[in-house]
Structures are given as C-alpha cells and as structure tokens.
Structure 1
Amino acid sequence: MASGNAGDPADDERWLVIDGRRWRRTDPALPSDVAERLRSHLGRARAAVRSAKRSDDPAVLAAVRHRVGVAKAGLGERGPRWWDDTVPARVERARAALDDLDRLAPPVDGGRAARADDDADVNT
C-alpha cells in the first residue's frame, strides 16, 4: 500500500518518539505468534551482543548483531517501510526472517528457546 492512501496508518502508528528521537514501530499487521517469536529472538540476540562485547571477538559480535538486525527487519523496525507494502508481503518477510533466525539460533525443547534457568543446577 502506498503512503498517503486512505486506510494508511497515521504517523503515530508508524513512529515512536523517545527523548526526541524517532523509532519505527513494529508492524501491527504481523500475526501475534510471529511477532512474539521475533521479539524472543531479538531479546536473545541482544543478550548475546552484551556477552560478545565482553569476549572481544569481533566476528562473534558481528554475527550476533546480524541476528539483531534480522529480528528487527522481521518486525518491520528496519529495512523497507512496512506501510509501503501489502500485508501478505509484510507477513512473508517476517516469516522469512523467523526462518533465518531459527537457522542461526535454533529453538530447543519443542520450539521454546533455551533459558538460563533451564539448567538443572540453577535454583537448587
């Protein structure tokens, strides 16, 4: 859908302003399960960035930053402006990002991502 057409989202639906800086919002048309899984990948990738910064390995840092970028693009927060595409194209782009992220950082235990408290030695 082209910007400026009837039914297009208003600027406040497209952008979030924090401390005077404008950030693109997540695509509201994404199915909730897809958006939730992308946000899970994003959170895990951001945590991996923090760990990679401590490791001083530029290749590892680049790889996990790539995961952050893929997740944000899947959510519509980076890359092509989501409001310029049709909903099916946006959902397909999100699903493709999810496939890439599942390949880069596979979920475990029936699709659920591993958590630190899954370790048997934690909280015992």
Structure 2
Amino acid sequence: MSSESSAQNADQNSDLNVLGSPLELCSCEPMTGWFRDGFCRSDVADLGQHSVCCVMTESFLSYSKAQGNDLSTPVPAFSFPGLRPGDHWCVCAPRWKQAHDDGMAPPVRLEATAFSATDVIPLELLKACAYQGMT
C-alpha cells in the first residue's frame, strides 16, 4: 500500500466510530473534542488521543482529579465550564484505559467514539463498557 493510500485510509477512519459507521457528535454543551467541534476525533498533534466519548460519573471525575486532571472545576480563561456527572466528554484513550484498569472508567458512547480508540483499547472492552442510557 502506498503512503498516499495509507494516509487516505487514516483520514477515512478518523470519521468512523468503533462500530464502523459515521462518527456521531459527542457533545456541544459543553463543547468537547480535540478540535472543540463536539466530535471525539484527533490528529497527529493530539498526543493524548481524545477519542473516547464518555458519560461523566462522579467517581470518574474524582478519579481524574486525583490523577492530576481536574475536569470538574471551571476554567473561564479557557471557556471551560467544568464537567458534572451526566455530561458527555471526549476522554483520552490511554487515560480511559488507565481508569478502566483502576476500576474507575466512565461509560462509553460507542457511536461517538472514534475508530482510532481501538489502537489503545480493545473493541470488546469498549463494548463491555457501553453506555446503556439515553444519548
């Protein structure tokens, strides 16, 4: 495969979710995503790989804060409102996997989780943690 067709496949996969269908919006309230467009997709500049659309829980927000990533405190200078349980947010794939390994991972919205998340997290694990409520 040429590098051009490989790059084209990567671009196509960036708009697919882990189920192989078009990537759905994660959240616009609050606005999320590496590109702050509501979608959990990333590019090579996104070293954290913000590709997993999650439904925030109190336990995950507390866990994340204890890990040094306070997602619940507003930061007006960055137009960040702070997250509350029930909010949908793009979480970094390695951070989600770490939280899962520690028993603290939030539920995942598969339809809004980028295909690239499977580079870090096995699809079966994501499916086992799929959000069962209303989107």
Q: From the two aligned structures, give the one with the greater helix fraction.
A: 1
TM-score by length of 1: 0.29
Larger radius of gyration: 1
